[in-house]
A and B are shown apart, each in its own frame.
Chain A
């Protein structure tokens, strides 16, 4: 197991470097004028300006030089300052956000994280619970219903589900509204009296003991959370169900039963513990799915997170923001997959002890 973890840790920097190569390669598809947005706020208009900027920031230098500038920054020959350099946290200037890409990522990430964390609750609780119920009642009505649910939930596109929820719960019933907060609270949370500790609205509201804001933020989260959760819920249900069915056929289960153990003990102590191991392997896929879903969900529900930022930038072809978003995702998910892989070998005794 130690060898595996060491190997996995050694591969990580290689993947990280590969990710920077890939993003840099995508950037090279663009012309020097578009790439100049890494350094200047306004896209140059006249030919003289363009040539001056290409000269100044080395945008026509050999490609390995450009990669190096992009990675660590480059001294501006006119001012003497170091400019650019993703390692210095300079990802360029976002045209859509009118602010540096890195600031935008920092400001919007907590909102997406909050959405994803709330979505985890129905995904894990509902998916695992329904998957187990379905497996324990194999081929009975509960199983059939959850299978239909899983197939439907897996097939419905996120954007269609989101709009249908809006149609029912907003347009028809008026229970929930899009956005992050109601207008009366939206201003209040920016005032000095309300301290934004985590920038996650529900958490901040609790920390400030403002339960009215907490409830308001929560009601705004209901529709996006459902939209985001359904597809992952369906996935987790399927994995849990088939994993449970697989374990229920094993010899050790028969042994446990023949020892005279109570059915509940067999299920809880023997089957479930082993059946949940494969579920961990799809945790990475679930996180990636949440990020995919966030792009669509936040756009539909006008929720100011990373996904909405990406969708806006994509429509206006603000590629510098898109590439910053890609880099952020690359780093985030290299970390996430590393944790999931290590967790997997740690919790599975068959691998841990071998």
Chain B
């Protein structure tokens, strides 16, 4: 019996107890040749599971909206700060979708817009109290969400991966100290900790994205650190690490070239789920009023406007329903993707799901 060599050297390859199927005996496909068997399985898995395809479509949709924000919702003046939501006057009462746009309308009518046969700007999704345009806020809020979310997740992941791999690889006292420190950070419920820290940081940074982002990073790295540490603990006694060490490789080389690449898949699952939950926490902070300054295009803030109309939400349903759809879809997209990744990568489930 010949076993495909690329399978045999993959450390996280075929788990014990699952019979060899034809997949292990057939020659590697083009995809497998190009990206390796693990990535090939991942890519194939994502595109064959309907739920993950749905997640992928939603996430791609949000990325496209963020990219084409200037086209979808042009700012009122060419030089204006696009993240400032244009206000059509200052009336306290929200206006329903389709109301004509009087003041501060975008400076040009985009070509797609004339398909409706109307050359005049209208508030597509209505306005909130104070006449902030909901459509504009949602479109540019997508940019805010993706930018802030990616930045927070990237920095927390890097910090967490660093701490986790150092703790896991060196073990002993280093591990003990780092884990005790980590335990202090995980004691606090996440939103509570982030709320406290960002309210302390607001006087220093002013009302901007920074306080919430810094707070989310300070209390956001622990998940990655735990994941990496566990993974490295289980990987470092493996033969390939022993072999590298015996051949005289330095610690940093072993961590970077051998241990980390094998820990990347579980991290991917966590990253994807984190991309959703960080933005929702971020929006919750804005909703509570510890976020950006009033009028900054941000989903949480646009929902917080609805709080002033709780008694009359029946009439002003649009101030909550449209932002709710955006937030729900965003969370759903990343969660579907993350769940699918976990199903594909979890060795316990491997081979048991279609």
Q: B310 near A166 (CB under 8 angstroms)?
A: yes
> Please, which residues of chain B bring their CB within 8 A of the CB of A29?
200-201, 204
A127, chain B: closest CB distance, angstroms:
17
Residue of B nearest to A285 (CB): B189
Binds B, one of A39-47, A84-92, A207-215, A306-314: A306-314
Task: Pick from B197, B288, B314, B317: contact of A311, CB below 8 A.
Answer: B288
Instruction: Tell me if A129 counts as interface (CB < 8 A to partner B).
Output: no
CB pair A152 B314 closer than 8 Å: no
Q: Does A97 contact B (CB under 8 A)?
A: no
**In the complex, chain A residues whose CB is within 8 Å of the CB of B196:** 26, 310, 314, 322-323, 325-326
Give, as a whole number of angstroms, the nearest-CB distance from A338 to chain B.
Answer: 11
Q: For B288, give the chain A residue with the smallest CB separation.
A: A311
Q: Given contacts A18-B184, A163-B306, A296-B287, is CB(A314)–CB(B195) below 8 Å?
A: yes
Determine which of B192, B202, B283 lies in contact with A295 in the assembled complex, contact meaning CB atoms within 8 Å.
Answer: B192
B253 at the interface (CB under 8 A from A): no
Q: List 13 A-B contacts (CB under 8 A).
A: A29-B200, A155-B332, A156-B331, A157-B331, A159-B300, A159-B303, A163-B313, A291-B189, A291-B192, A295-B191, A296-B284, A311-B289, A314-B195
Docked complex: A293-346 residues within 8 A CB-CB of B: 295-296, 299-300, 310-311, 313-315, 317-319, 322-323, 325-326, 329-330, 333-334, 337
B193 near A326: Cβ-Cβ < 8 Å: yes
Task: Give the interface SS of chain A, mostly helix, strand, loop or mixed.
Answer: helix
Of the candidates B189, B200, B202, B314, the one whose C-beta lies within 8 Å of that of A172 is: B314
**Considering the complex, which residues of chain B in the window 145-166 have a beta carbon less than 8 Å from any beta carbon of chain A?**
none
Report the bound CA distance from A300 to B332 in whole Å: 23
Please give, as numbers and ranges, the residues of chain B lying within 8 Å of A30 by CB-CB distance.
200, 203
Segment of B7-15, B65-73, B124-132, B322-330 engaged in the interface with chain A:
B322-330
B336's nearest neighbour on chain A, judged by CB, is: A151
Which of A155, A289, A325, A334 is most buried by chain B, counting CB atoms within 10 A of its CB?
Answer: A155
CB < 8 Å: which of B181, B191, B204, B311 contacts A292? B191
Contact indicator A337/B187 (Cβ below 8 Å): yes
Which chain B residues in 300-354 approach chain A with CB under 8 Å?
Answer: 300, 303, 306-307, 310-314, 317, 320-321, 323-324, 327-328, 331-332, 335-336, 339, 348
Residues of A within 8 A of B323 (CB): 160
Scan B201-218; emit 1 where CB is below 8 A from any A CB, else 0.
111100000000000000
List A contacts of B204 (CB < 8 A). Answer: 29
Q: Return chain B residues, CB-CB under 8 Å to A118.
A: none
Determine the residue in chain B with the shortest Cβ distance to A326.
B196
Contacts of A172 in B (CB 8 A): 313-314
- Give the residues in chain A near B328, CB-CB below 8 Å: 152, 155-157, 160
Closest to A28 in B: B200
| Contact of A51 with B by CB under 8 A | no
Please report the total number of A residues contacting B with Cβ < 8 Å: 55
Does B183 interact with chain A (Cβ within 8 Å)? yes
CA–CA, A164 and B321, complex, Å: 7
Q: In whole Å, how far is B52's beta carbon from the nearest beta carbon of chain A?
A: 12
**Residues in B whose Cβ lies below 8 Å from that of A170:** 310, 313
CA distance A329 to B187 in the complex (A): 8
B residues in contact (CB < 8 Å) with A? 180-181, 183-185, 187-193, 195-204, 276, 280, 283-284, 287-290, 300, 303, 306-307, 310-314, 317, 320-321, 323-324, 327-328, 331-332, 335-336, 339, 348
Please, how many angstroms separate the alpha-carbon atoms of A27 and B199 in the complex?
11
- What's the least CB distance linking A286 to chain B, in Å? 11
List 16 additional contacts besides A11-B183, A156-B328; criterion CB under 8 Å: A18-B180, A26-B196, A30-B200, A151-B335, A159-B283, A160-B303, A160-B320, A163-B307, A166-B310, A171-B314, A314-B196, A314-B198, A314-B290, A319-B199, A325-B196, A329-B193
- Other-chain contact of B288, A291, A315, A325 (Cβ < 8 Å): A315
Closest-CB distance, B208 to chain A (whole angstroms): 14
A188 within 8 A of B: no
**In the complex, what distance in Å separates the CA atom of A210 from the CA atom of B311?**
29
> Measured between alpha carbons, how far is A26 from B195 in the docked complex, in Å?
12
Contacts of A329 in B (CB 8 A): 187-189, 192-193
C-alpha spacing A11/B187, complex, angstroms: 13
CB-nearest residue of chain B to A15: B183
For A160, give the chain B residue with the smallest CB separation: B324
Instruction: Verify A158–B202 contact, CB threshold 8 A.
Output: no
* CB atoms of A157 and B192 under 8 A apart: no
Instruction: With both chains docked as a complex, state the minimum distance between the C-beta of A19 and any C-beta of chain B, in angstroms.
Output: 6
Contact A300 B307 (CB under 8 A): yes
A171 with B311, Cβ < 8 A, contacts A160-B324, A296-B287 known: yes
Which 5 pairs, one residue from A and one from B, show the smallest C-beta to C-beta distance?
A: A155-B331, A18-B184, A292-B191, A171-B313, A288-B189
| A333–B320 alpha-carbon span in the complex (Å) | 34
Query: Is the CB of A154 closer than 8 A to any CB of chain B?
Result: yes
Provide the residues of chain B in CB contact with A322, threshold 8 Å.
195-196, 199-200
B284 cross-chain contacts in A, Cβ below 8 A:
157-159, 296
A23 to B295, CA, bound (A): 32
CB of A315, distance to nearest CB on chain B (Å): 4
Distance between Cα atoms of A59 and B254 in the complex (Å): 48
Please name all residues of chain A whose beta carbon is closer than 8 Å to the beta carbon of B332 when the two chains form the complex. 151-152, 155
Annotate A121-164 by CB proximity to B: 1 below 8 A, 0 otherwise: 00000000000000000000000000000011011111110011
Question: Do B313 and A15 touch (CB < 8 A)?
Answer: no
A19 and B203 contact, Cβ closer than 8 Å, known pairs A163-B303, A292-B191:
no
Q: Residue on A with the closest CB to B330?
A: A155
By the criterion CB–CB under 8 Å, are A14 and B192 in contact? no
Q: Decide: B313 and A310 in contact? CB cutoff 8 A.
A: no
CB neighbours of B306 from chain A (8 A): 163
Which residues of the other chain, B, contact A295 by a CB distance below 8 angstroms? 191-192, 195, 288
Of B192, B290, B327, B336, which contacts A326 at CB under 8 A? B192
Q: Which residues of the partner chain B approach A333 to less than 8 Å between Cβ atoms?
A: 187-189
> What is the CA–CA distance of A81 and B183 in the complex, to the nearest angstrom?
36
Q: Which A residue's beta carbon lies closest to that of B314?
A: A171
Judge whether B320 and A163 touch: CB under 8 Å.
Answer: yes
- CA separation between A333 and B190, bound complex, in Å? 12
Q: Most B CB atoms within 10 A — which of A157, A292, A329?
A: A157
Q: Which of A14, A166, A296 contacts B180 (CB 8 A)?
A: A14
